[in-house]
Structure 1
Amino acid sequence: MSSDSERSELTPDAAPGWLKPLVDNAHAVKRAYRRRVPAEMLALLTAANATAAVTGGGRDAAVLVLFSGPPDSASGGLPDDADLLVTVRASTLRHHAGQAAFPGGAADPGDRGPIHTALREAQEETGIDTGRLRPLATMEKMFIPPSGFHVVPVLAYSPDPGPVSVVDESETALVARVPVRAFINPENRLMVYRKENTRRLAGPAFLLNQMLVWGFTGQVISAMLDVAGWAKPWNTEDVRELDEAMALVGHDVTDGEAHL
């Protein structure tokens, strides 16, 4: 949970008109996220979260959900050149290799709260100038059982975030500002599942040119499209096994844990 001093750093009025539906309803993203989670998986998430609460397990973490684009739109809706900042982890990593994610990670002891964590981690991973960014809202904390993280997505905006790039090639393979329209395009959407014993638990994913966005990140993006009113009807019957889907972008799956 953000402290009062951290919440004072939020500037929701800095959001352009096209982003306001999402900013004004950021509280609804977690609810939309949970609607897309299969009932069996939701039960596992709830049980794991309850266990972590009792045992004191889990670590605080935050991710930066950065939208960029012009402050004005001729149509009043989403501009064609609006984009979302995404990274892909290095394929050589032992855990979460080749997975797409928002920049972010675990809180450090000196962090003032999730906003500080998200901005610090984004700067470390992508070299972004955080002075160009305007934090707009924090979404509700979400628990990721495999990694044990309690994650707060921090929604932010910049009309021009400046250059971004891979800072450490041993950690990150790609940093990209992906057009939001690529996520909206029904042709890029599918459902992905990973075999967990005999269970087949599928969630929304996005198959793009250089990455497969799935797991926690895919769920959050799907929920944001729903909440913002940007989602278009897509074929939820297109269900692929994770290894098959990852092979389409040239990656093998080495670790099924959800990556931040």
Structure 2
Amino acid sequence: MLFGEGPQGPDLLFTERSHTMRSHPGQISFPGGSLDPEDDGPVAAALREAEEECGLDPSGVDVFGALPEIWLPPSNFAVTTVLGWWREESPVRIVSPDEVHAVLRVPIDVLLDPAIRVTMVHPLGFRGPGFLLPDGGVLWGFTAGLVSRLFDHVGWTRPWDEGREQPVEEWMIVGRGNEDRPIPAYPVPNSEFPEGPR
């Protein structure tokens, strides 16, 4: 979970996962991935993965903590969320198209807007927080839960209508029919995106 000082104020760095991935295709998430044998723990893995996925220069990040490990049954993964401050920003872009469809910097003020907050309802009945981003993207699932809990914990959450429900649609789960969705409106301003499909 990387905090930075973006052009529209403090923001968070996200990636939109490739729509062809087997797990969580097209979902908006924090950069990250599995621990490799050469990684010296979760912090090293998080920084390496962010560099591999979106070109983040780890030397510009001050890591200030990590959340307790959380087990995710749907993914069969134990996740450790690493918290960092983007002290010295570096250009970020899609480095691994097989893993990343888009790189986003979403202003925290946008995420705090009660008008975009919803309760996501999964077809199997699971419910959780969601954020309907102004560009049409939907932040939901594990990442949305982390963001929501963080905002609650630090006292930033603004009152919102928790009864406002949004179904988790099929494309959000399996990624089918989602390849032509427009690129989110929060492309990183210092990115070097090529023209054409991303």
Normalising by structure 2, we get a TM-score of: 0.83
Structure 2 partner of 1:228? 154
From 163, 166, 173, give the equivalent of 1:253: 173
SS of equivalent to 2:173: coil
* Higher helix residue share: 1
Moved more, 153-162 or 142-151: 153-162
Amino acid at match of 2:4: S
Residue-pair matches, total: 174
Q: Deviations over 1:85-123 (max 9, x none)?
A: 000012222331110100011101111111101101111
Q: What's the secondary structure of 1:237's corresponding residue?
A: coil
Rounded Cα–Cα distance in structure 2 between residues aligned with 1:206 and 1:252: 13
The corresponding residue for 1:93 is: 21
Tell me if structure 2 keeps the 8 A contact 1:88–1:211: no
Offset of 1:195 from its aligned partner? 1.7
Q: CA RMSD in A?
A: 1.8
For residue 4 of structure 2, what is the aligned residue in structure 1? 68
Q: Residue type of the partner of 1:69?
A: E
Aligned to 2:163, which of 233, 237, 251? Answer: 237
Partner of 2:122: 194
Q: What's the % identity of the aligned pairs?
A: 36
Shift of residue 210, structure 1, vs aligned partner: 4.4
Are residues 187 and 160 of structure 1, via their aligned partners in 2, closer, same or farther at CA, if it must alter by over 3 Å? farther
TM-superposed CA distance for 1:84, in Å, is 0.2
Mapped contact 1:69–1:160 kept (Cα < 8 A): no
Q: 4+ runs of 1 displaced by more than 3 Å?
A: none
TM-score by length of 1: 0.63
- Counterpart of 2:131 (choices 177, 190, 206) is 206
Matched residue SS, 1:235? coil
Q: Give matches, 1:1-260, under 5 Å.
A: 65-69=1-5, 81-196=9-124, 200-208=125-133, 209-243=135-169, 251=171, 253-254=173-174
The alpha-carbon deviation at position 254 of structure 1 amounts to 0.8
Distance 1:114 1:158 in 2: 18
